[in-house]
Structure 1
C-alpha cells in the first residue's frame, strides 16, 4: 500500500472522511491477508444456503470469493464509506457479478432485522475501534462502548445457531472480555493463521455458549503480547510492538 494512503495518526482511521479519500484512490486492498490464507478455516463453515453479512467491506473481494465458494443464499457487504460502496457496486457491475448486495451502513448501527443472517464476517474492521484505545488491558470507555455496540448489533442480526467470524490482530486475552460478556449467548473458539506473524480467526456461534465453560481454545501457539503503534507490518497499516515486560 502506498505511504500516502495512510493517515498522519492512528486516530485518523476513526475519521469517515479518511476512508472516503482513501477508497477514492485505492482500487483494492485486503486487510489481514486475502481469502487464500484463511480459506482452510472459513470454507468448512460455508454452505450454499447461507445468508452472509460482511461488516466493513472496504474494497475487499471477499464477497466475490464467497460466491466462488458456492454461497447462494445472499451476500451483503456493508461499509460506512459511500465511496467504497459505489466503487464496489461499479466493480461488480463491470464483472457481471450478481448475488452481492453492497450497502452504506454503520457497523455500530446495523440496519437489518433481527435474525437476518446465518454468518457474519468482519476482517480487520473491529480493529479500527481499538486504534485509539489506550491501555489494551484497560481500554478507554469510548472504545468499550463502541466495541460493545458492534457486537450487540452482530449478535442481534445472527439467526439462532448462526456464526460470527472475526479475523483480527486481537489476541484472546484482549478480546475474550468483549466476546464473553454476559449479554451474549455465543460460544467462542479461535485458531491462528499466517507464517511467522499470526492472525487470529475467531468463531462465535449464537446460542451455543456452555454454562460450564466460557470458551474453547483450538491449538493456540504461544504468541507474545502486542501493543498497537502507527506503522506498517507485512503491508498492513497497523503494527503490534512486543511488550517485553510481559514475556
Structure 2
C-alpha cells in the first residue's frame, strides 16, 4: 500500500470511529455525518464560529487540561496575570481558576462566544475572570501588562490555508507575525507566551525565533502515542548562543494517531495534504 493510500485509509478509519464530543458539537455537514465542517478552510470564516458557538456548549481542542496541567503549574504562578487568546467555549480559564490563578482575561473574535462564556462563568461564580471581544491580530491592551499569554489551538487556525508548511503563504506569515508582535508587546519584560499546538518545532521555530523577538524558545510534548506541543517563549531570555535550544531537540514524531479525537484530525490532515 502506498504512503498516500495508507494515510487516506487511516484518516477515513479515524473519522468513522471517533465518537467523543459528538453530543456537544453541531453536525454542520450532515451529508458526511461529520462532527466538524466539511473543510478546514471553514475555520477561517467568522460566521462559522458564531453559528457553531450559538449551539455548542463546550469543545476542547488538543486534549483537556489534565493532560498538560503539570506543565502549566511549572510555568505559571498563582499571582500571574494571564491573557487567553481565542477562548471559544473551552474550559481552560476555569481550570486555571481552580488552580488558584484568578487574574485572567479571555478574548475571542466571536461575540457569541464571548457572551456565552460570560454567562457561563458568572453562573459558576467566577466573577474575577474577564471576557471580551477582541482580535488576536490587533490586541487592544497596553504594553507590558501581562505575565502570561496563552493560546490553545487558536493560532493553528491561521495555518489551515498556509500551503507548503516549509514555505507558508505570505498572507499566513503576516497574520502569524501580527499575532506574535502583539503577544510580545503586551507581555511584561519577563513574561512568557505559552502556545499549545499541533505545529512541529521545525515549522514553528522560524516564526517564533524571528530576530525582532527577545524571547527564548523551549517546548515539551504531551499526549499518548501522538504528540501535541507545549511551547514556552520567555521574553527577555533570548541568547545568541546556538546552544539556546539544547532543551528543545526535535524528536521522532508520528504523524498519525490510531484514534484521532474530535476535530483535531482536520488540522492534521490539512497538514498532511502537503506530504507525499
TM-score calculated relative to the size of structure 1: 0.91
The answer to whether residue 48 in structure 2 is matched with residue 18 in structure 1 is yes
Q: CA deviation at 1:195?
A: 0.1
The answer to whether residue 227 in structure 2 is matched with residue 165 in structure 1 is no
Correspondence list, 1:132-151, <5 A: 132-151=161-180
Assess if the C-alpha contact under 8 Å between 2:153 and 2:196 holds in 1.
yes
The answer to whether residue 143 in structure 2 is matched with residue 114 in structure 1 is yes
Aligned match for 1:89, one of 106, 109, 118: 118
Larger Rg, first or second structure (1 or 2): 2
Correspondence list, 1:55-204, <5 A: 55-72=85-102, 74-204=103-233
More strand by share: 1
Q: CA deviation at 1:70?
A: 1.1
| 1:186-237 CA distance string (max 9 Å, x none) | 00001100001110000000000001135343465311468xxxxx931134
Assess if the C-alpha contact under 8 Å between 2:155 and 2:176 holds in 1.
yes
| 1:172-194 CA distance string (max 9 Å, x none) | 00000100001000000011000
Distance between the aligned counterparts of 2:238 and 2:175, measured in 1? 23
Q: CA deviation at 1:12?
A: 1.1
Partner residue, 1:46 = 76
| SS at 1:129 equivalent | helix
User: Structure 1: where are the runs of 5+ without partners?
Assistant: 227-231
TM-score calculated relative to the size of structure 2: 0.82
Q: CA deviation at 1:59?
A: 0.3
Q: CA deviation at 1:48?
A: 2.1
- Inter-CA distance 216–125: structure 2 relative to 1 (3 Å threshold): farther
In the comparison of the two structures, how many residue pairs are matched? 241
CA RMSD of aligned residues (A): 2.2
The answer to whether residue 263 in structure 2 is matched with residue 236 in structure 1 is yes
Distance between the aligned counterparts of 1:240 and 1:16, measured in 2? 21
Q: CA deviation at 1:78?
A: 0.3
User: Structure 2: where are the runs of 5+ without partners?
Assistant: 1-20, 29-34
Distance between the aligned counterparts of 2:165 and 2:177, measured in 1? 15
Assess if the C-alpha contact under 8 Å between 1:29 and 1:59 holds in 2.
yes
- Inter-CA distance 33–203: structure 2 relative to 1 (3 Å threshold): same
Distance between the aligned counterparts of 1:171 and 1:218, measured in 2? 11
Distance between the aligned counterparts of 1:23 and 1:157, measured in 2? 28
